[in-house]
Amino acid sequence: MAKAKSKSIFMCQDCGYESPKWMGKCPGCQAWNTMVEELIKKDAPVRGLSTARTEKHQKPQSISEVKSEQEPRIPTNYQELNRVLGGGIVPGSLILVGGDPGIGKSTLLLQVSFQLAQRGERVLYISGEESVKQIKLRADRLNVTVKDLYVYSETDVEYIEMAMNEIKPSIMIIDSIQTVYRSEVTSAPGSVSQVRECTSHFMRMAKTNNIAVFIVGHVTKEGAIAGPRMLEHMVDAVLYFEGERHHTFRILRAVKNRFGSTNEIGVFEMKELGLEEVLNPSEIFLQDRSTRTVGSTVVASLEGTRPMLVEIQALISPTSFHNPKRMATGIDHNRVSLLMAVLEKRVGLLLQNQDAYLNVAGGVRIDEPAVDLAVAVSVASSFRDETTRPTDVLIGEVGLTGEVRRVSRIDQRVHEAAKLGFTRAIIPDKNIGGWTVPDGIEIVGVSTVDEALQYALGG
């Protein structure tokens, strides 16, 4: 019997670009030193989802003839995780979980496995990085012990499929995709070919057996999921578990979700016995805030459908360099530079010879434009050395002409501020009217940044 022919190619480990020769710079993604040699068998058959479809002899159907079935989701005990997933785990879905090393991916999935197994769901936890005894040590630390949670240390996809057929779980977890391999693919585990083929195989297992599969993915130093970009296109949902290593708070964010919104976030806190969900993150993020402080403001941000109050701090000081520094943590650096230019041109603050340092307290990152007004007031407060009222909350987008523009869902933001004891909200005047103002909070409408500064810094 003739052996399958093989050839050597060079493949980019970031985007999957193939080349017959080695190159220092990938023409596909412009990354340096990512081309790695891999052996490819020409005659090796590739099994995927199409093979399973051929075996069951499915035929194209008119969409009007397809019966719509609402299959119930599998809810977890974590409301934060349910919110990010869109209401719970969808059977037959393939979910990719990424995050920095040590951030808590394996801890979260082990705790979720324990909760689901307690309610009668059969869960298979497969680790290619830890032995069964090591998983048991981690489970003992988290007080995880239940009969329907099965652990397995294996990296060969064929043995993993055999274990799945034997146990027949409703939830399966692969930790991590970079450690498993298929024997038909000659390249090393973690390579583009292996990651692509193994993910395709797990996708077929999830769809044909109607089980939910969680895949843990390593991230690169830039923060993206390691492996080909195709990996994120193949799965049903991509969740990023992020947070500062020196903070206890962790944020679970969906960047892709076929069964729910990608605007929701879940907030967790890492404690001695594992992760605990934070049901009221606004209260947690503001608990260490000092009153009557220069350069400090509070903004009501919106993450999906959840309003969240966070503190924005600014420090403006004369520069000792030719080019002043502009540093920002938790907020877009370019947006800060834009707002400082608006303050200099429209308000008359001489900031071109000042260093600027901005921080969103608590390690959370905010990307929406409704925080513009709070950032501008924080910068002006620090520059003028004037305090802001600790019971003020600021909401609004700032334009290049210095105008304060309307924002969405102003009623939810103001209600959250009133619930936490804030007594005044400075908002765009275009947002006034059409909603009920909660008791105990005063609404101030402004049309320009200059007008907002008069209220916020003038008492």
Binding residues for ATP: 99-106
Residue with tokens 């970031």, as numbered in its chain:
14
Residue 267 CB coordination number (10 Å): 24
- The continuous run of DSSP H or E covering 325 comes out as none
Q: Are 199 and 191 in contact (CB under 8 A)?
A: no
Structure tokens at 57: 């002899």
Q: Report strand pairing: 35-41 vs 6-12.
A: antiparallel
SS (H, E, C) 394-439: ECCEECCCCEEECCCCHHHHHHHHHHCCCCEEEEEHHHCCCCCCCC
Return the residue matching tokens 């705790």: 111
CA distances from 357 to 131, 310, 314 (A): 46, 17, 6
CA-nearest of 241, 244, 257 to 304 is 257
Q: How far is CA 29 from CA 20, 136, 219, 246, in A?
A: 17, 41, 17, 32
* CB contact at 8 A, 22 and 10: yes
Q: What are phi and psi of 278, to 5 degrees?
A: -110, 105
Bridge-based pairing state of the strands 397-398 and 404-405? antiparallel
Helix (H, G, I), strand (E, B) or coil at 83: helix
The continuous run of DSSP H or E covering 226 comes out as none
What is the rounded CA–CA span in Å between residue 359 and residue 314?
7
Q: Which residues make up each annotated binding site?
A: 99-106
Measured CA to CA, the distance from residue 236 to residue 93 in angstroms comes to 6
Q: Is 349 helix (H, G, I), strand (E, B) or coil?
A: coil
Strands 35-41 and 123-127: unpaired
CA distance 180 to 218: 13
If one counts every other C-beta atom within 10 angstroms of the C-beta of residue 85, the result is: 28
Tokens 């797990």, residue located: 202
The Cα 428–Cα 431 span in angstroms is 6
Give CA–CA dist 76/109, Å, rounded.
11
- List residues bridging with 217 in a β-sheet: 98
| Residue whose structure tokens are 């924002």 | 407
